[in-house]
Amino acid sequence: MAPAAQILADTDWHLQQLYDFLPKIGATVLQANYSRYVIDLNRDPSGVSLYPGQSVTELCPTSTFDHMPLYRKGSEPDDAEIAKRTEAYWHPYHTALKEQLARIKGKYGYALLWDAHSIRSEVPRFFEGQLPDINLGTNSGQSCAVDLLAAVVGAFSRASNSYSMVQNERFKGGYITRTYGDPEKGVHAIQLELSQRTYMSEKPPFEYDAARAQNVKPVIQSAMENFILAATQSS
């Protein structure tokens, strides 16, 4: 791979540490073990674009968010390599995700999916200027019931003096949100694309900033608890 790949800049850094409260709220956790540079679990395996007409990265990315090549010339993954990675990494993850959603829905009658991501606050390839702190996506309202999303938005809104927030703008939810969120069948999915400036340094070596994190962490926890409470009351 090329030097730009070694930095791992386009990583959802430190989410395990940021979301370390999940056991307290009884959440089931499914965590990716490999870099998105290997394969992007939040992309359609067919290669269909999530955002037609806008710049996107591939299922097996060949460039960074800054348009730097990930591979040395001639070493990019071919169709056979992409198929191999899809079988080895993409399918097992999504099989596990489907199994857990089915298990949870079987136990409670519904399932809630919170797809946690983070990204640098400025990535000109995808959006102009500075990204809002909180970017919620529900596939333009199709992946989550209105009242459940409202409960989540309410929690973030109470922290509006500290964090900016948008819904279903540049990040409407990726393949995971769009595929598994089905409110009519009792599965509600929300993607949170969190600006990394809220909890870490955005420059190498991308260190976790405990002081910033301790401010945003309870806000995220409150939003997730509201999500659960609203679903419990609606069921």
Is the pLDDT at 145 greater than 90? The verdict is: yes
Is the pLDDT at 205 greater than 80? The verdict is: yes
The set of residues, in sequence order, having a beta carbon less than 8 Å from that of 125 and lying 6+ positions away, is 55, 65, 66, 67
**pLDDT class of 51 with cuts at 50, 70, 90:** low
Domains parsed from the chain with CATH numbers: 3-234 (3.40.630.40)
Is the pLDDT at 60 greater than 90? The verdict is: yes
Is the pLDDT at 177 greater than 70? The verdict is: yes
Task: Give residue-wise pLDDT tens across range 88-108.
Answer: 999 999 999 999 999 999 999
How would you write the chain as a 3-class SS string? CCHHHHCCCCCCCCHHHHCCCHHHHCCCCCCCCCCCCCCCCCCCCCCCCCCCCCCCCCCCCCECCCCCECCCCCCCCCHHHHHHHHHHHHHHHHHHHHHHHHHHHHHHCCEEEEEEEEECCCCCCCCCCCCCCEEEECCCCCCCCHHHHHHHHHHHHCCCCCCCEEECCCCCCCHHHHHHCEHHHCEEEEEEEEEHHHCECCCCCCCECHHHHHHHHHHHHHHHHHHHHHHHHHC
Reported as half-sphere exposure (CB side, CA atoms, 13 A), residue 37 has a value of 20
Is the pLDDT at 63 greater than 90? The verdict is: yes
**pLDDT class of 140 with cuts at 50, 70, 90:** very high
Is the pLDDT at 48 greater than 80? The verdict is: no
Q: Which of 80, 39, 96 is nearest to 62 (CA)?
A: 39
Cis peptide before 45 (omega within 30 of 0): no
Q: Rounded distance, CA 224 to CA 230, Å? A: 10
**pLDDT class of 49 with cuts at 50, 70, 90:** low
Provide the Cα torsion 139, 145, 148, 153; round to 10°: 40
Identify whether the C-beta of residue 143 lies closer than 8 Å to the C-beta of residue 173: yes
193: amino acid identity, one letter = E
Mean pLDDT within 47-53: 68
Is the pLDDT at 235 greater than 80? The verdict is: no
Q: Which of 49-58, 107-116, 151-160, 222-231 has the lowest mean pLDDT?
A: 49-58
